[in-house]
Chains A and B, each alone.
Chain A
Amino acid sequence: MAAAGGKTYSFKVVLLGEGCVGKTSLVLRYCENKFNDKHITTLQASFLTKKLNITGKRVNLAIWDTAGQERFHALGPIYYRDSNGAILVYDVTDEDSFQKVKNWVKELRKMLGNEICLCIVGNKIDLEKERHVSVEEAEGYAESVGAKHYHTSAKLNKGIEELFLDLCKRMMETAQLEERSRGNGASNSSTGRRGVQIVDDEPQAAVPAGGCCTSG
């Protein structure tokens, strides 16, 4: 939910993708600049925050990791409700993980429409020799669904800064567009309320997801 308090933005970003594609390593590298380091003092890497300063405006970024196992797929809506952005991670050496990302994209577009900023990330580019997902295919798919594609390696610390910086800029643009369409601060609160209403309305269309949201 974008909260424009003066010049500070707060964004919620969800990390989606199969287990073992490197979601956790990616976000740890970005927030803690660590990779598989036995001396990491961080207790957990499920919820991490980062403060940025972009063109004079402060951004508070909250990154929500999600359980990627297949058995937990139905719980996705509970996680990505009220999200401003989503990072969908796949392993370039694993074709199945890319298919999983495609499923997530369809669900997110269906449930949240075009308000959410999507980033499709091909991780583990350090294993280029074992690549099974071609660059052309991935970038073509991202363009077709209104998302943007990135190539990263948590191991080599490549492409991660660009990914998050670009995502924040896009979320800021979306938030500013919403601000202009609302007019003033008073409308901003109504924006939040309408967002909640939209989320509440859509799950009813899908019975399983509705069940999940109802219990939540």
Chain B
Amino acid sequence: MSQRSERRGIHVDQSELLCKKGCGYYGNAAWQGLCSKCWRDEYQKARQRQIQDDWALAEKLQREEEAAYVSSHSSSQTQPPQSHSQHSLATFSKFEEKKTNEKTRKVTTVKKFFSPSSRTAPKKESHEAKTPSPSITRQSSIETDRVSRDFVEFLKTLHKPGREIHKHSRAFIDSMGNKKQDLSAEELSECVQDFYQGMSDRLLNHFKGSSEKVDRVMDQVEKYIMTRLYKSVFCPETSDDEKKDLATQHRIRALHWVTIQMLCVPVEEEIPEVSDSVVKAITDIIEMDSKRVPRDKLACITSCSKHIFNAIRVTKNEPASADDFLPTLIYIVLKANPPRLQSNIQYITRFCNPSRLMTGEDGYYFTNLCCAVAFIEKLDAQSLNLSPEDFERYMSGQASPRRQDDPAGWPQSGSRVNPVLTQIQHNLSVLSSLEKRQQQVIEGAQSLEAELTEWQESVAREVQEILERYPLDIKPRASAIDAENVENDRLPPPLQPQVFAG
């Protein structure tokens, strides 16, 4: 009963239903007692005011954050919160009469502003820190995984012996992982060689494998084991390989002045095919350091040696003997100055399957490389057929062999000694021939221009002569066009147009 009476009261009193602004129209409770028009105007004003306030707040916060970045003092860090809180209080006082939605929206705006800046910086930092290591780790692990998969696939073809080989190989790698911190380089080598010997004996005696098949299996075993152990056994900390590497590198660099003639190298680098073989040999010997399996390193040495043999054969037109091969290999090593040469030689000696190293062709080339390095280390004036005084001057850098060659003829000796000079001379000759061709083209163009001009003049003269020889006279007509039409009388009279009404 009371509710009903209230409704009647509202319904009856019309003055309370009008818009609060007094515009004369009816208001609505949903629009806080305003009519739709007045409500729309009021809403837009409030919205614009809020947008401006948000913008000002954002700018202020950004300036404060930048100031905090510039100065890393703790006092500056405390200031932003205070300013922020004060500004927040001011902002809140302006909008205290607004609804919860509006307040929530402002808070979200502030959060959105903070989120990007707070998330971006840590991402960049972490990205920069992580960039190099993942790629290196990933590359190494990819290679290791591939070798492991290849090893497993290979062993599947062997059935029962394969399973035993895999078990023993994995056990060996695990045991080496435990030992590597304590053992010296020679002890590590002994462990690996013992493993090779035991595995080979078991394959030969117990499984009755043929020697060729056993060799193939042992190659795969070596590849698997040494790929897994490479990082810990190559140039180990317990050895002085690194010192030797640096000493060898300095020694080779100091011998940059040694020439083909001093070593009696039977290689004529003027021949393109020969110089190409020399470059390939240098590339191969340098590439040795990038391999991990001892057999792959040996393959680089063998490839280098074959390019040397090719250079000698092309030069001398006969098969190369050791008298020719060793001096040329020494020359290649001096030119290449391979990285970590001693470490690579020690690694091959310690961890290569001995059957290949002792007797095979690869072993022969490896032995020659050891000889070359030994020779370079002990090289003296007598080795190069020089006087001790000259040798000392060349070593100290006071003199250069090329200067002595000046009387004999600098260009010739220069081109032999220095490939760069050879390239420069080649470029000069190419440019010279190009200049000659350019000159010929210019002369051709000029003669063509002259011919064109002459042709034009001759055509004009010819036309003029013809005109003079045969003058053209045009006689004008004196009579009218229809004057001579004598049969005009016989023509019928002209037709008269007929006009029809309508």
Contact = CB atoms under 8 A, between A and B. Distances in A.
A112 B461 CA distance: 106
B165 interface: no
Contacts of A46: 309, 320-322, 325, 364, 368
Contacts of A212: 374
A74 B378 contact: yes
A68 B322 contact: yes
B205 A75 contact: no
Contact of B323 (A19, A74, A211): A19
Contact of A28 (B310, B319, B360, B382): B319
| Candidate in A1, A36, A72, A212 with the most chain B CB atoms within 10 angstroms | A72
B141 interface: no
Contacts of B197: 189, 193
Interface string A23-48: 11000100000001010101111110
B373 interface: yes
Interface string B333-359: 000000000100100010000110011
Interface in B278-330: 306, 309-310, 312-313, 317-323, 325-327
B374 A47 contact: no
A115 to B, nearest CB: 15
A79 to B, nearest CB: 6
Contacts of B205: 185
Interface of A: 1, 3, 5-6, 8, 10, 12, 15, 19-20, 23-24, 28, 36, 38, 40, 42-47, 49, 62, 64-69, 71-72, 74-75, 78-79, 82, 185-186, 189, 192-193, 211-212, 215-216
A24 B321 contact: yes
| Candidate in A28, A36, A75, A82 with the most chain B CB atoms within 10 angstroms | A75
Contacts of A12: 358-359
A212 B323 CA distance: 19
B318 to A, nearest CB: 7
Given A43-B309, A74-B378, A216-B367, A67 B317 contact: no
Nearest to A28: B319
Given A1-B359, A43-B320, 16 more contacts: A23-B323, A24-B319, A36-B318, A38-B317, A46-B320, A46-B325, A49-B361, A67-B327, A72-B326, A74-B378, A78-B371, A189-B201, A212-B374, A215-B374, A216-B370, A216-B373
A79 B364 CA distance: 8
Nearest to B325: A46
A20 B364 CA distance: 21
Size band of the interface chain B makes with A: 35 or more
Nearest to A10: B359
Contacts of B378: 74, 211
Contacts of B325: 44, 46, 67
Contacts of A28: 319
Contact of B374 (A15, A67, A75): A75
B211 A5 contact: yes
Contacts of A79: 367, 371
B383 A44 contact: no
Contact of A44 (B201, B204, B320, B326): B320
Contacts of A19: 323
A65 B322 contact: yes
Contacts of B172: none
A79 B375 CA distance: 13
A40 B313 CA distance: 10
Given A47-B364, A78-B370, A5 B322 contact: no
Nearest to A5: B211
A90 B485 CA distance: 132
A64 B326 CA distance: 13
A16 B318 CA distance: 20
B350 to A, nearest CB: 12
Contacts of B326: 67, 72, 75
Contacts of B359: 1, 3, 10, 12, 62
Contacts of A38: 317-318
Contacts of B354: 192
Interface in B368-425: 368, 370-371, 373-375, 377-378, 382-383
Contact of A42 (B211, B319, B322, B371): B319
B371 A45 contact: no
A62 B362 CA distance: 12
A113 B310 CA distance: 38
Contacts of B382: 71
B306 A43 contact: yes
A212 B320 CA distance: 25
B327 to A, nearest CB: 7
A193 B358 CA distance: 12
B309 A44 contact: yes
Contact of A43 (B201, B313, B317, B373): B313
B370 A43 contact: no
Contacts of A49: 361
23 contacts: A1-B358, A5-B211, A8-B211, A12-B358, A15-B322, A24-B322, A24-B323, A38-B317, A43-B306, A43-B310, A43-B313, A44-B309, A46-B325, A64-B367, A65-B321, A65-B322, A66-B322, A69-B264, A71-B382, A78-B374, A211-B374, A212-B374, A215-B342
Contact of A75 (B306, B320, B358, B371): B371
Contacts of A186: 201
A75 B211 contact: no
| Candidate in B310, B322, B371, B373 with the most chain A CB atoms within 10 angstroms | B322
Nearest to B244: A215
